[in-house]
Structure 1
Amino acid sequence: MKTVYAIGEVLIDFVATEHANDLVMAGHFAKKPGGAPANVACAISKLGGQSAFLGAVGHDPFGEFLLEVLGKEGVDTHLAQRTHTFTTLAFVSLSAQGERDFVFSRGADKELKYDKRLKKVFKENMVHFGAATAFLGGELEGAYGRYFFDALTQGSFISFDPNYRENLWKDGPERFIKKCLPYIEKAHLCKFSLEEAQLLSGEQDVDKALDFFHQHSEAIICITLGEAGTRLSVPKFRDTIASISVDPIDTTGAGDAFMGCLLYQISQLENSFELAQSIPVLTQMVTRANRAGAHTTTGYGAIPALPDTQDLEKY
């Protein structure tokens, strides 16, 4: 079993406790652990895999809380860093349909420092890059790029999820798109929401977007489509993999649950790099990952709602 190293932010989601179409209408909030790379690491460990988190939190109660949560979920946190900047926060409201409105208060995540010792640790393991805040500058962006180079040179299986958040790029998405392309070109697995696929490719049609990505990459591409399933594509195969029907109450973390479940399954393979040639195995893995994403929408908060093996067996 390979270890999956998830790099990026961990933060506190303050989630509105009553349904509201936007944060203007929200009044009361509950504290929830979050951050896409941390969610992915927890999703992997909760299913029985081995994961480690590389990110930064503050020397404050929220940072302590986040590391405790990750540790209790079985994530290796000894590589996480502590800074004197306050832990990153996000405020989230949920509509009755489970859709989100949120704003960030960015803090400690941007101060992750590069550690050259990790280059050897990545060898023959897996490295996941979740990019929500990683391209916004600070030491995190520099460390992110250097870890990406290390993963490439050490023969790691690399996955990439851009996690685009419009309100983080109010001056326009052009810089974000430019910074994502090298990761898409070199990764072995990419996961996009429909909106991200359209943004990054400049194509509204899903298959035209996939054609664009495969002009630049031979990666396994997954475009998640919510209740419609996942559009799966490799250079010689393409299909929509169905999901399951659930009654969603909170979509937070669904894509991370999908990614974590898929990475967990890939980590069990003796040769992860041959997966794109094993179409029946790949489609079965995506089917299971769809179930993980759907299950997560039936609970509140990302990490608390992630499924374990027994949860997935119900489906």
Structure 2
Amino acid sequence: MKKIFCIGELLIDFVAENQGKDLTKAKEFSKKAGGAPANVSCAISKLGGDSVFIGCVGNDPFGTFLLRILETEKVDISLAQKSDTFTTLAFVSLDEDGERDFVFSRGADRELTYDSSYKSYFENNILHFGAATALLGGPLEEAYSRYLFDGLTKHAFISFDPNYRVDLWKNKVDSFKRKCESFIEKSHLCKFSLEEAQLLSGKKDVKEACEVLHEIGTEIIVITLGSEGTWLSTKKFQKTIPSIKVTPIDTTGAGDAFIGCLLQQIAKHSSIDALLADESILTNMVARANKAGAITTTNFGAIESLPTLQQLDS
């Protein structure tokens, strides 16, 4: 089974309690571990995969808390870094349908520095790039781009999730699109929300959006559609894969559970050619990943809500 290296941010989510989406009215917050790549690494590990997290936290109690959470979930944190900059924080609010809004206070996540020794670990493995904060400049963005190059030279399978956050890209949407394109071009698999696919392609129709994104370069596209399931697209076929029915409480981490479950399954296959050769293989993988995402929405918090193998198989 291939190792899966998840590269990007690890942060504290302060989730507002019992006030809906208006953060101005929030008085109480619960501390949760967060950050899309970290969530993905935990999702993989919970399902029996071999995940490694590459990111940076502060040399402070919050950073220690976060790394302990990953260790508890059996994620390899040997390549994680610590900085004297304070750990990144996100303040999160939820509406009655479990949908989220974010305000970020950035810190140590941006301080991840490139380490050339990591390159040797990437040989024929999987690299997943979760980009919520990674394209905002600084050492993290430089490291991110160099690890992408290293992964390609080491014949790694490349996965990319842009994790678009409005609060982080106000008045900079064109820059976000431009920076994402180089990752879409070089990735074997891209996971988008419908909003992200429309934004990055300039097309409202999901099929037309995928045509544009395939032209940029990626071979496999999955577009999560919430309760409607996932749109799966390759250069040979496109279809909607339905999800299971649940009553959502908190959608935080659902997309991360989805892509983590999908990557954990891909890690068992020898090559991308094997995945693309049989339409039913990818279809079944996405259906299982849909279930993982749906289960995650039925509880509060991302990491603690990620399904185990037993839950997924029941």
**SS in structure 2 at match of 1:170:** coil
Q: How does 1:165-244 map to 2 (within 5 A)?
A: 165-244=165-244
User: For the Cα contact (< 8 Å) 1:157–1:273, is it kept in 2?
Assistant: no
- Helix, strand or coil: the match of 1:24? helix
Which consecutive segments of 4 or more residues in structure 1 shift more than 6 A?
A: none
| Partner Cα separation in structure 1 for residue 307 and residue 137 of structure 2 | 33
User: Is the Cα contact below 8 Å between 1:23 and 1:102 reproduced in 2?
Assistant: no
Contact 1:16–1:29 (8 Å) recurs in 2: yes
Structure 2 partner of 1:311 = 311
Letter in 2 for 1:250: D
Q: Is the 8 A contact 1:161 1:191 kept in 2?
A: yes
Q: Check whether the contact 1:218–1:235 (CA below 8 A) recurs between aligned residues.
A: no
Mapping 1:1-315, distance limit 5 Å: 1-314=1-314
1:313 CA drift (Å): 1.7
Residues of 1 paired with 2:114 and 2:236: CA distance?
37
Alpha-carbon separation, structure 2, partners of 1:28 and 1:181:
39
State, as a whole percentage, how many aligned pairs show the same letter.
Answer: 61
Q: Write out per-residue CA displacement over residues 40-72 of structure 1, whole angstroms, 9 at most, x where no aligned residue.
A: 000000000000000000010000000000000
Amino acid at match of 2:2: K
- Structure 1 distance, partners of 2:32, 2:273, is 35
Cα-to-partner distance string for 1:75-101 (whole Å, 9 max, x where unaligned): 000100000000000000111110111
TM-score (norm 2): 0.99
Number of residue-to-residue matches in the alignment: 314
Deviation at 1:277, TM superposition (A): 2.0
Determine if contact 1:19/1:96 at 8 Å carries over to the other structure: no
In structure 2, the residue corresponding to 1:164 is in which secondary structure?
A: coil
Q: CA deviation at 1:26?
A: 1.8
Which amino acid is the alignment partner of residue 188 of structure 1? H
Separation of aligned partners in 2, 1:148 and 1:47: 25
Shift of 1:218: 4.3
| Residues 135-161 of structure 1, C-alpha deviations (whole Å, 9 max, x = no match) | 101100000000000001110000000
Report Cα offsets for 1:107-160 as digits up to 9, x if no partner: 000000000001111011100000000010110000000000000111000000
Name structure 2 gaps, 5 residues minimum: none
Structure 1: unaligned runs, 5 residues or longer: none
SS of the aligned residue for 2:177 comes to: helix
Alpha-carbon separation, structure 2, partners of 1:158 and 1:60: 32
Contact 1:3 1:51 in 2 (8 A): yes
Query: What is the rounded CA distance, in whole Å, between the counterparts of 2:117 and 2:91 in structure 1?
Result: 35
TM normalised by structure 1 equals: 0.98
Asked whether the 8 Å contact 1:254–1:302 carries over to 2, the reply is yes
1:159-179: per-residue Cα shift (whole Å, max 9, x none)? 000000011011230000000
State how far apart, in whole Å, the 1-side matches of 2:22 and 2:209 are.
30
- Alignment partners' CA distance in 1, 2:149 and 2:172: 27
- Once the two structures are TM-superposed, the CA of residue 273 in structure 1 deviates from its matched residue by 4.1
